[in-house]
């Protein structure tokens, strides 16, 4: 089983739609969780951290369920500029901190 799993997509949605991505992780000792965004041929950029209480940043909402080892990202009112690959990132402490990336979920927002 992969350490971090995501549905690769692509998710094709129209502008204005609400879309959700899920991510599961296998190591229950995982410490921190993030969502990153990666545009084609560019480096990943931090979108938001994910907290147990859930957190929101504008149109983006992240949720963490430690019991189910599950992370989600919700995007409301999708914009064309939201088209990208969204990477779920889990930080594990294996003696030192180690970042593990999911394969990413590709989102395509169309007019």
Peptide bond before 10: cis, by omega within 30 degrees of 0? yes
Check if the beta carbon of residue 52 is closer than 8 Å to that of residue 58: no
Told to check if 56 binds another protein by CB under 8 A, we report: no
Told to check if 54 binds another protein by CB under 8 A, we report: no
Cα 40 to Cα 55: distance, rounded to the nearest angstrom: 27
Q: Which of 55, 74, 103, 108 binds another protein (CB under 8 A)?
A: 103
The residue among 42 and 79 lying less far from another protein, judged by its C-beta, is: 42
Tokens standing for residue 55:
């957190």
Told to check if 28 binds another protein by CB under 8 A, we report: no
| CA 83 remoteness from chain centre | 13
Site residues (vs another protein, CB under 8 A): 31-32, 34, 36, 41-46, 49, 87, 89, 91, 96-104
């Amino acid at each position: 089983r992969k350490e971090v799993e995501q549905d690769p997509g692509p998710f094709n949605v129209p502008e204005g739609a609400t879309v959700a991505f899920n991510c599961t992780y296998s190591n229950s000792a995982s410490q921190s969780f993030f969502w990153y965004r990666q545009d084609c041929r560019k480096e990943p950029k931090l979108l938001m951290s994910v907290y147990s209480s859930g957190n929101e940043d504008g149109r983006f909402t992240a949720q963490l369920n430690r019991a189910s080892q599950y992370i989600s990202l919700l995007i409301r009112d999708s914009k064309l500029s939201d088209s990208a690959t969204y990477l779920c990132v889990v930080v594990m402490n294996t003696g030192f901190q180690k970042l593990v990336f999911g394969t990413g979920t590709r989102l395509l927002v169309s007019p």
